[in-house]
Amino acid sequence: MKTKLVLWGSNATEEKILIAMQLRPEDNKVDIWTFPETVATDEFARQLLGDWRNDVEVAFPESATHLERELSMAESLLPEEIKVERGDIIQRAQTEWHFVVLSSKLNEVYQAELSELKAKVAGLTSFNNDAWGTLKSFWAKVQDQVRERNLLRGHADALRDDTNALFGKMKELRSALDDEFRQTSQAHHDKFMATLANLETRATEGTRLPALFDELKELQRSFREIKLTREHRSKIWERLDATFKVVKEKRFGPNANNESSALDRLNRRYNGLLGAIDKMQKSINRDQDDLNFQQRKIDSSDGQLEAQIRQAKIKMTKERIRSKSEKLEEMLQTKADLEKRIAGQKDKESKRQKQGEIAAAKAAAKAKIASEIAASAIARDDSKLEKAAEAIVAKKGPVAQKVAVAAPVVEKVEEEVASAPVVVEEVKETIVTTTETSTNSDLDDVVTSGAAVTIITNEMTEEQKES
């Protein structure tokens, strides 16, 4: 934004004059030079319009008249005796220069704060978190003003360069601290890894698993509290997780590390969301407190500049509250959705559990009924086979007669033992097969297996002995 203005006008005697105006923002003053037409040649006018307005020094003639005016929004920049053709140019310059003065004052405030930071950083021999935080805070304030265009580009560039120099000094100090931190982190990493290797060995041996599990949990707590680099933290966490899985499998069986159910995953997500909602609400409350503070302080601001700065802060704080409130609404909607999904999943698992119980009851009932039927069938078949054996033994004729007598018995057995157990089925098959294929052998050589067959064979042997 230009702080110099050149234009043609006339004086009190209606003589044409060349007018040059320059703002001194640090003093809130405007220097005005007027040149009579006799010395304001075309060449001199071009020098003013070109070089002088671009901050190149131009020698003014001795006949120039110099005036000094206070910059004010209520009064005109030019005296009443000086007239110009384009009054709108003067009015626009007056408005813009008022902003330049305010911006310059704001720059002075920041420059004073920056000088204190320079002295503080210059006195540091090692990295200091408080100084780093103060420097970041200062630069954040400057950036806010730059984004809102409250600082002129030249002021913003100067502040940025000086602040970057301080950041460079702080980074050098932090680099030395980081080297020390990495060495300390490496020592912690090696110690954790050695401890985990020992725990894994003990877990493989399977000795004192409950105590081993408690040691792992204690190691996990100390891992969370100790300071480590991101790389070391990631490696230790992976090893720690693997060791936990080994101990769980040894202690609770191969299914201990199975993936959790859908309901468990939803509950974990829901609990995490509750924590995020709480943090967001606290953040909004802090912003609201800050907004209330700024609104209270604006009434007692020390000057217009401070009031304008607080107005800018109020605007930014309101914008942050609006943005965070929108995010909070989305999170609350997600919470409601998760609650519905959790309720639905609970219903599904309840139904699935009931169905499993019903299926188990049905299977138990079927098994009991089948057992009772099998026991009843075996009792009936044993009785019928004993009667059949007695009928066969009562006959003392040749084998052909015995076979003839055995045939209807086999048919009867086939009808009665259709649902009998395997042992009875084997007896039936043995009798039928032997009856069809044997005609010259004794019946004790025909029937050779099964409990009922043993009874028949024994009785036939005694009969044959008597014969």
The stretch 40-48 carries a mean pLDDT of 86
Torsion of CA 173, 176, 182, 188, to 10 degrees: -90
Length of the chain: 467
Q: Is the pLDDT of residue 86 over 50?
A: yes
Cα of 229 vs its chain's centroid, Å: 20
| Position 459 pLDDT exceeds 50 | no
Average the pLDDT over 173-200 and give the result. Answer: 87
> What type of residue sits at position 291?
L
Question: How distant is the alpha carbon of residue 171 from its chain centre?
Answer: 30
Task: Provide the pLDDT confidence category of residue 465 given band limits of 50, 70 and 90.
Answer: very low
Are the C-beta atoms of 34 and 65 separated by less than 8 Å? yes
Cα–Cα dist 316/45, whole Å: 46
Strand 65-70's sheet: what is its strand order? Answer: 65-70, 29-36, 16-24, 4-10, 83-84
Q: What percent of the chain has pLDDT over 90?
A: 17
pLDDT at 277: 93
The predicted pLDDT at position 427 comes to 39
Highest mean pLDDT among 125-139, 246-260, 290-304: 125-139
Mean per-residue pLDDT for 427-452? 40
- Per-residue pLDDT tens digits for 343-393: 988 888 888 888 888 888 888 888 889 888 887 777 666 666 666 666 665
Query: What local confidence, expressed as pLDDT, does residue 253 receive?
Result: 63
- In this structure, are residues 21 and 31 in contact, taking their beta carbons and an 8 Å threshold? yes
CA 318 to CA 290: how far, in whole Å? 10
Which pLDDT belongs to residue 284?
Answer: 93
State the Cα–Cα distance between residues 169 and 124, nearest whole angstrom: 10
Question: Which H helix or E strand runs over 30?
Answer: strand 29-36
Tokens matching residue 239: 């090893």
**137-184 tens-digit pLDDT:** 999 999 998 888 888 888 899 999 999 999 999 988 888 888 888 888
Residue 53 is classified by DSSP as G
pLDDT confidence tier of residue 136, bands split at 50, 70 and 90: very high
Give the model's pLDDT for residue 166. 93
CA 33 to mean position of chain CA atoms: 66
Q: What gap in Å lies between CA 449 and CA 432, rounded to an integer?
A: 13
Tell me: pLDDT of 458 over 80. no
Q: Are 21 and 79 in contact (CB under 8 A)?
A: no
As a whole number of angstroms, the distance between CA 167 and CA 174 comes to: 10
Contacts of 395 (CB under 8 A, 6+ apart): 401, 402, 405
Going along 340-458, which residue ranges are E strands? none
pLDDT at 92 over 60: yes
Is the pLDDT assigned to residue 282 strictly greater than 90? yes
Q: Where are the domains of the chain?
A: 4-99, 124-254, 381-466
Whether pLDDT at 450 is above 60 = no
What lies within 8 Å, CB to CB, of 206 at 6+ separation is: 250
**For the chain, what is the mean pLDDT?**
78
Gap between the terminal Cα atoms of the chain: 142
The Cα–Cα gap between 303 and 235 comes to 57
Can you tell me the distance from the alpha carbon of 384 to that of 214, in angstroms, rounded to the nearest whole number?
68
Q: pLDDT band for position 254 (50/70/90)?
A: low
Q: Are 266 and 342 in contact (CB under 8 A)?
A: yes
**Crossing angle (nearest 10°) for helices 304-394 and 87-122:** 60
